Amino acid sequence: MNGQNKNDRAGWLKGPPAECSVLPGETQSPWRLVLLGAPGVGKGTQADLLHERLNACHLSTGDVFRAAGRRSDCEQTPAMTAAMDYMRRGALVPDSTVWEMVCERSGCIRCRGGFILDGFPRTLAQAESLKALMENERLSLSAVVNYELPLAEIVSRLSGRRTCEKCRAVFHVTRQPSRAEGLCDHCGGRLYQREDDRPESITVRLEVYEHSTAPLIRFYKDLNLLAPVAATGSPDEICDRTITALQKRLPVKR
């Protein structure tokens, strides 16, 4: 289960007709995973670690939005142009637009190296659409990992997070402090606390998450795909715990 392949994920980040710089080799049973978990549980970190261990590409919808924000309008796909319009107006990107964005990148879902979806699906409608797409391609999810963490720990993680205003690097006031207080180790930029990382905002974010994700958890549990994992401890400990949970599914891995 050790990872070997790395690529720039161009096919995912840019959409068609871009192609990844390195295509994965043949894998007899590629892992196709969905990661669930409240803000602050470390899904992005775990997706990167799992990529190293399983070879499957980390496909983050958040990364797509961030990449699109750095590109000119003429370089964006139709779905991303629509999504960026919603975001510029401060509006939520609707399910239909997010789904169109994923459909533009359906080659990544079919990729023989597998995938680790982070940030999608977020709603029951998105989950049902993904299921229908994969069934049409005669593919199946291997597992849906649900990272679980007590509310107090989530608030502590997010409220202590600080972001560089220049390079967007992330630090934490106690877990990963910068060498010089308030300044980024990488570029010297000022570190600030995002509005949505303030305790009062975190509570609202978690309420929204619980409301939208509870049906997702039931959906995947009914499909016998849900793999709960405690998101406590170091990133490596959590990753080891995830791999153990996935190994238990090997007899039924599809």
- Give the residue numbers marked as catalytic: 43, 122, 161, 194, 205
Could you give the residue ranges of the DSSP H alpha helices within the chain? 10-13, 43-54, 61-69, 78-88, 95-104, 106-110, 124-136, 151-159, 199-222, 235-247
Pairing of strands 226-230, 143-148: parallel
Vertex 67 angle, CA 62 and 68, to 5°: 100
Cα gap 33→103, rounded to integer Å: 17
Residue of 187, 166, 165, 109 whose CA lies nearest to 142: 109
DSSP label of 94: P
Tokens read off for 41? 């549980």
Q: Which residue has the tokens 């679980």?
A: 148
109's tokens: 């879902």
Q: Is 192 helix (H, G, I), strand (E, B) or coil?
A: strand
